[in-house]
């Protein structure tokens, strides 16, 4: 990948997501990337670095502060919100859905900026997927734990083997049309009350 001379500023309160984006930008040949996690002092950074592209999380309420900065600082020459090409509605929609917003210095060739935005969008999406997977993995782990506990209670109180306890839980879940983890949770709660 050819080296890029574009200066890029990433503002993201989520440090992990920010580093994922930074990595992606570096891989794409952008070496002038600055990442900040809060907007304090952003005015000075913009003034000294004069970024060509600023990427900011769309849920960050400080976007309004950026608008104010652009009114004041003459150093940032006419940045435009988000979008390289207003007719590229697919990019605009995917960016908004992913939660990316960006400011781009006017006059920059759109092909150059489009690849940066595409990258930011895909990294934002990848991060959301990662979070989703993590949450699912966590809840799966929790479910396994509660089933183990329920099994233990059944084995102890009814003298069942591990297989029998598991089969009983599964059969009950099927009969009641519930998830096994739910049955297990009720059992653990009930046992807690009774013992």
Partner 1 sequence: MMKRTDRAGNDLGAPATIGAPEQKILRAGFIPLVDASVLIAAAEFGFARKEGLALEMVKDVSWANIRDRLAFRQFDIAHMLSPMPVASMLGLGSNPSPTITPFSLGRGGNAITLSLRLFERMLEVGHLAETASALENARALASLLKVMREQGEAVPRLGVTYPFSSHNYEFRYWLAAGGIDPDRDVKLVVVPPSMTSDALAAGAIDGFCVGAPWNMVASERGVGRIVAAKQDIWPSAPEKVVAMRPEWAASHSDTVSRLIVALDAAARWCDTPENHDGLSEALADSRYIAAPIGIIRQVLAGEFSLDAKGNRRLIPDYFTFNRRFANYPKPGHALWIYSQMIRWGQTTYNEEGLLAAASAYRPDLYKAALGSAPTGQDITVEGNLEGDRFMDGHVFDPAAIPDYIATLGTGAAS
For partner 1, the binding residues (CB under 8 A) are: 58-68, 70-71, 79-83, 89, 92-93, 96, 101, 103
Nearest approach in angstroms of CB 29 to partner 1 is 27
Nearest approach in angstroms of CB 71 to partner 1 is 4
CB 80 within 8 A of CB 103: yes
Nearest approach in angstroms of CB 79 to partner 1 is 6
Q: Please, which residue, 66 or 180, has the CB nearer to partner 1?
A: 66
Q: Please, which residue, 71 or 175, has the CB nearer to partner 1?
A: 71
Q: Please, which residue, 91 or 180, has the CB nearer to partner 1?
A: 91
Nearest approach in angstroms of CB 3 to partner 1 is 28
Closest CA to 113 of 92, 93, 91, 84: 84
Q: Please, which residue, 59 or 148, has the CB nearer to partner 1?
A: 59
C-alpha R_g of the chain: 26
State the Cα–Cα distance between residues 166 and 180, nearest whole angstrom: 10
Q: Tell me whether residue 103 is exposed, middle or buried, using C-beta atoms within 10 angstroms of its C-beta: 0 to 12, 13 to 18, 19 or more.
A: buried
- Give the residue ranges of DSSP H helices in 28-62: 42-49
Specify the 3-state DSSP secondary structure of 80.
strand
């Amino acid at each position: 990948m050819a080296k890029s001379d574009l200066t890029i500023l990433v503002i993201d309160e989520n440090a992990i997501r920010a580093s994922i984006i930074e990595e992606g930008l570096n891989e794409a040949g952008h070496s002038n990337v600055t990442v900040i996690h809060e907007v304090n002092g952003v005015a000075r950074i913009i003034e000294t670095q004069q970024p060509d592209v600023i990427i900011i999380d769309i849920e960050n309420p400080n976007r309004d502060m950026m608008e104010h900065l652009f009114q004041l600082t003459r150093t940032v020459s006419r940045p435009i919100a988000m979008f390289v090409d207003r007719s590229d509605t697919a990019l605009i929609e995917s960016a908004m859905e992913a939660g990316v917003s960006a400011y781009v210095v006017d006059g920059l060739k759109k092909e150059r900026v489009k690849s940066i935005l595409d990258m930011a969008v895909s990294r934002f999406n990848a991060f959301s997927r990662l979070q989703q997977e993590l949450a699912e993995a966590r809840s799966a782990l929790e479910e396994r734990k509660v089933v183990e506990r329920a099994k233990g209670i059944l084995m102890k109180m009814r003298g069942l083997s591990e297989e029998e306890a598991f089969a009983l839980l599964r059969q009950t879940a099927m009969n009641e049309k519930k998830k096994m983890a739910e049955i297990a949770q009720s059992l653990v709660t009930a046992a807690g009350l009774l013992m």
